[in-house]
Amino acid sequence: MSLKNRLGFTREPVYLIDGSAFVYRGFYAYPDLKRSDGFPTNAMFIVLRLLAKLLREEKPAYLGFVLDGKGPTFRHALMESYKAQRMRMPENLAVQIEPLLEGLGKMGIATIVSHGVEADDVLASLANRFKKDRPVVLVGADKDLQQCLDENVYLWDPSMRKEKLVTLESFRTHQDLVPGQWPDYQALVGDKADNIPGIPGVGPKTALGLLKRFPSLEALRDGFERLSAKEQTRLKPHMEDIFLYRELTRLKTDCCADHVCAQLKINQEDMSAFLDFLDAYEFHSLKREFARDDARDTNASGHKMTGTFVEPVHGEALPDCAGKQVGMILEGKGVRIGLEGREYLFDACSMSLVTALGTAQSIAVPSLKDVLYHHRLWYLVPLGTWFDIGLAEYLLDPEERNYGFERIRDGLSGELDTHPENPALTACRIGELLTKRLEAGDFIPLMRELELPLIPVLVKMEQNGIRLDLEAFAAFLAEVQEKLDQLTTAIYQEAGTTFNIRSSQQLAEVLFDRLGIVSRKKTPGGKPSTSVQALEALADAHPVINSILRYRTLEKLRSTYLEPLPKLVDRENRVHTHFNNLATATGRLSSSKPNLQNIPIRGEFGPRMRGCFIARPGYKLVAADYSQIELRILAHMSKDPHLLDAFARNEDIHARTAALLFDKEPEAIQADERRKAKTINFGLLYGMGPQKLGKDLGLTLKEAKEFIARYFSALAKVKTFYTDVEKRARAHGSVTTIAGRRRLLPDINSRNANLAQQARRMAINTVVQGSAADVIKKAMLAVDRDPLLHKTGSRILLQVHDELVLEVPAENAIEVGERLTVIMSGVYDLDVPLAVDWGIGDNWAQAH
């Protein structure tokens, strides 16, 4: 349903598009799109595709596309440093602007390029004028546009995977402000994206509190004497500046006085010229899409047809496949093959079919994993012949999360010339399209040498499973259940009432209404939170809190592991997890149904829990894991001399870091100092900021910032590395790992400071953690292919982050452990040694 129908508009709305935002988003989201002569077309393609979707679904009568013009604006005159940190528009983007404006003109869409003001000022001015007569939909995501919201003005971003719609009502609810207060709020907190400093020490919570008491900056200035002494000290030096900051962030509403709504009327009379334009820039899929839309407009039924349906042939022998492109779809026990414009149906997999397909140049399938589970004969097809469509799409866009065949097919529908009811031919065509994109992004080596060969390894691991000690599970469950019963009684006594402890709603009523405990954290809906974090912050408020926290720990152990896992075993008491190779943007594997990567390692229950996973009779478990692999990758990539030297000498890296931070000899470092060094060593890799670091280490925000500064002063090359990663991410809109895996970061240059900061954290995390994932995957391949391990009958059972667990004959356990160390430490040649720890045991706890 269109937006105007959902919102119940009675007059035709005008759609005003923040063109600059979508131009940049498209440029960074799809960096590989180019014309055959190398001319970049990524930004143009994404914008045109967005507009095609908007025209098709909304059928707007009035639409305007607004772009930032060149040169400074009045804001630069007000403050020289305004947006000073912003990079110039990349040349590959700049050359697309004029062709884009040309294409939009041929498309019948009015464009406005701002001069002396920003595109947002134009949008605000037009919205302010047009809202008197009709609804206005601002199409964009810039938070500053929220100040334009009104009863008749909406902010809508339809381009994300989940659309975002902000109305006046939703803004008031979530922001606890009225739109007119947004510039005042931004002036107080600042805006890093625009280089607006704000007031030091004033964050969102403080700013909202001030604006509740003083609804504007003028009211704050006039009521200054009513502020506390601490507030006065903080605000006084900046009272004049905040009015300037507000002027920088407040949008003008008096621009474009000569623009009237009639100028924004859609005019699609010159469609043939637009189609020629699409041809010129090789936007063939968009051309088919527009042609299809045009045909639908003249088709009373409106039925979407693509290509010509081909009647499948059943039971005939497959023609010669040698050197040809093939598509294959599994249908129950049967198989559907697409080859040279024909489809063939077979009731089952057979040796003759496998032999024929084994000569093909490429067989495109939705999921190779599903194929290998379908029949063991498929293993006879050379691995390099398979093309996994879901895997290819994952490598191109690891953030998508849905790599199902239908979703990929629908996403490429504009580029397909096959009928939906010919899925095998469609698979073949999709394989050809995605191969070209993989080649353009230089992902073929990553797919062929690492990701595709890993799939058979994962299937074997899933089929192997791992044995459970059911008696140990039962005994452990009984103990935990007894403790839960005791805690339940204690909680009822401490609370003075009985209630469902597992119910968040009932728990909140008891804690905050009955016992009068003051909540410190809220849920997104504004209610008092009963999350673990929220309760930990209230640990001293009442004895029942600690009892509830203990109850939750034990209850999670019972409900997540002890009770369900024994119900999932097969006849040999083995449980089989599923390893997901298309689930994480960093390239790490995940585990589900059940998740065995979340089995506790340390702590009170870790060893006991892992002790319930055992080897079969006559065998041992051998566990081998990389020691501090992410810090070793950081040392390799940053070339920091302190890290390189510490790892080369096999020193305790956290003690060595602590020695630098606290200016001591390593042997003089205390346990607490080492803990702090360890926290910051790993924390910065995962994007930890000073606030979280301060909380974890018991430091004030100021102390945490000083601690981080001291860390980067001592490890200067690490700081340089982090800065370089961020620069590359901003320049390319993506980062890559050691094996060439790419993660797109379209928000790295966002004008939304929170999104940009999140993208910066992702950049560092992806480069290091993603490279660690590359290393462990390469190790899995090497272990699976090793002749000695094959000879001993060793089998990989589990991969848990940086650890591999194998089941091996007891007499070969030591030999296998030693061999694992050699294999895993040699898969990559880094500037520091890849250290491997390993152990042997009858159960996982002993082996680890």
Per the CB < 8 A criterion, the answer to whether 493 and 501 are in contact is no
Distance, CA of 820 to CA of 818 (rounded, Å): 5
**What is the reported pLDDT for 713?**
92
pTM score of the predicted model: 0.79
Distance, CA of 186 to CA of 120 (rounded, Å): 15
**What is the reported pLDDT for 84?**
59
Tokens 């594997």 appear where? Answer: 589
The parts of the chain modelled with pLDDT lower than 50 are 295-302, 304-305
Tokens of 293: 């839309």
Q: What is the DSSP letter of 41?
A: -
**What is the reported pLDDT for 667?**
87
Decide which of 3.20.20.70, 3.30.70.100, 3.40.50.1010, 3.90.1150.10 is the CATH code for 3-174+253-261: 3.40.50.1010
Give the closest residue to 624 by CA, choosing from 835, 843, 457. 835
**What is the reported pLDDT for 116?**
84
User: Within 10 A of 443 (CB to CB), how many other CB atoms are there?
Assistant: 21
Task: Place domain 630-770 in its CATH homologous superfamily.
Answer: 5' to 3' exonuclease, C-terminal subdomain (1.10.150.20)
Give 22-74 pLDDT, tens digit per residue: 998 888 877 888 888 889 999 999 999 899 889 988 999 999 999 998 877 77
The yes/no answer on whether domain 467-568 falls in CATH 1.20.1060.10 is yes
Specify the 3-state DSSP secondary structure of 18.
Answer: strand
Specify the 3-state DSSP secondary structure of 301.
Answer: coil
**What is the reported pLDDT for 302?**
38
User: Within 10 A of 597 (CB to CB), how many other CB atoms are there?
Assistant: 18
Q: Which residues does residue 112 pair with via DSSP β-bridges, in sequence order?
A: 66
| Interaxial angle between packed helices 284-297 and 271-280, expressed in degrees from 0 to 180 and rounded to the nearest 10 | 160
CATH class for the region spanning 313-441: alpha beta
Sign of the Cα torsion 789, 794, 795, 797 reads negative
User: Within 10 A of 818 (CB to CB), how many other CB atoms are there?
Assistant: 11
For the chain, give me the number of helices (H) and strands (E)? 37, 23
Distance, CA of 845 to CA of 221 (rounded, Å): 64
**What is the reported pLDDT for 294?**
56
Tokens of 265: 């009327």
The H or E element spanning position 475 is helix 470-495
Specify the 3-state DSSP secondary structure of 304.
Answer: coil
| Domain regions of the chain by residue span | 3-174+253-261, 313-441, 467-568, 630-770
Distance, CA of 814 to CA of 731 (rounded, Å): 50
